[in-house]
Amino acid sequence: MPSVQTIAEEIVAREGGFVNDPADPGGATNYGVTIHTMRRLGLDLDRDGDVDVLDVRALSRAQAVEIFIRHYFTRARIDLLPQALQASVFDMQVNAGANAIKILQRLLAGFQEPVAVDGALGPKTAAAAHRAYEKAGDYLVDAYG
């Protein structure tokens, strides 16, 4: 299985560079990182006192990779999951936010695992994921696995 770093780099490569499409509700985006995320994280890269389109444009590929690892993998506690599931849940977390964990929890409930569908990846969801993976094995593994 690829490392978290490699997965994040693949996500960034797939997301591409700077885009500011007025029809996109995500707003200005660079390497998959939206202006809304940058504002939430306080990433004023040009140090002019606000986070705006210029900051999004200034975001480097390496910074985007770090944001995804720190805020979408580590902070989301995806490392608690079986290693074979981490890549797909990480990728979903980048694209769907906390809904990724809810999707996982709904899947686990389908495996008759007692989990709350609350979008929080804690010890109960992690334990349920490990039990489901032990039962289903490669059935739960995606293309990263």
Domain ranges of the chain: 1-67, 76-145
Q: What is the mean pLDDT of the chain?
A: 90
**Nearest CA-CA partner of 36 in 48, 53, 49:** 53
> Largest Cα–Cα distance in the chain?
53
The tens digit of pLDDT for each residue in 92-145 reads 999 888 799 999 999 999 889 999 999 999 999 999 999 999 887 666 665 444
Q: Residue 29 forms beta bridges with which residues?
A: 19, 34
* Number of alpha carbons in the 13 Å side-chain half-sphere of residue 78: 30
For CA atoms 94, 130, 125, 111, give the dihedral sign: positive
| Predicted pLDDT at 66 | 96
The tens digit of pLDDT for each residue in 31-48 reads 999 999 999 999 999 999
Structure tokens at 28: 């200005």
Structure tokens at 106: 């709904």
CA distance 58 to 113: 44
CA distance 54 to 74: 27
Angle at the Cα of 34 (from 129 to 58), degrees rounded to 5?
125
Alpha helix (H) residue ranges in the chain: 4-15, 35-41, 53-58, 61-67, 83-96, 99-110, 123-136
